[in-house]
Amino acid sequence: MLRPDTKMFVSVLESTKAFNFDPPVLYLRHGDQFRMSERLRGYIKKESRLHYTYSTDGHGFRKTVPSVDSNEQVLIIGDSFPFGVGVADEYTAASHLQRMVGKRYRIVNASVGGYDGQQAFLMAKKISTAQDSPG
């Protein structure tokens, strides 16, 4: 899980290496980028190849939109792909699925970028057996 009720601004920076599959990434709480100097903001804008924001809900899960309140839930667990690294909340696979199923089910995106299979399994087990489910 991530920090609950957070909105982050993310910049994926250009790398000095020709082929870098793990480029440097700058994470800022949303709004903090406006507290930086104009010169630093300009540098980040110039040196970044991708910018996006993401939000977490009150349980520390990636926010799925639209927000649905339902006792019937579908849990999505995984790494950066189901988390939606690189896209805003409304463009994740979980949010697309939420729009498809409507209000009958609540889609819970408990994925975390960087998780491996074992971590995802343990998270799924923890969430599915918890007395206080994510809804």
33 three-class SS: helix
Neighbours of 57 (CB within 10 A): 18
pLDDT in tens, 12-23: 988 777 676 778
Q: What is the pTM of this model?
A: 0.82
Residue 132: is its pLDDT beyond 60? no
pLDDT category at 135 given cuts 50, 70, 90 is low
13 three-class SS: strand
Percent of the chain with pLDDT over 70: 94
pLDDT of residue 83: 96
| One-letter amino acid for residue 28 of the chain | L
pLDDT in tens, 2-11: 899 999 999 9
Query: Rounded to an integer, what distance in angstroms lies between the CA atom of residue 25 and that of residue 41?
Result: 15
107 three-class SS: strand
Residue 129: is its pLDDT beyond 90? no
* Domain boundaries, given as residue ranges, for the chain: 7-129
Alpha-carbon Rg of the chain, whole angstroms? 16
pLDDT in tens, 47-104: 898 999 999 999 999 999 999 999 999 999 999 999 999 999 999 999 999 999 999 9
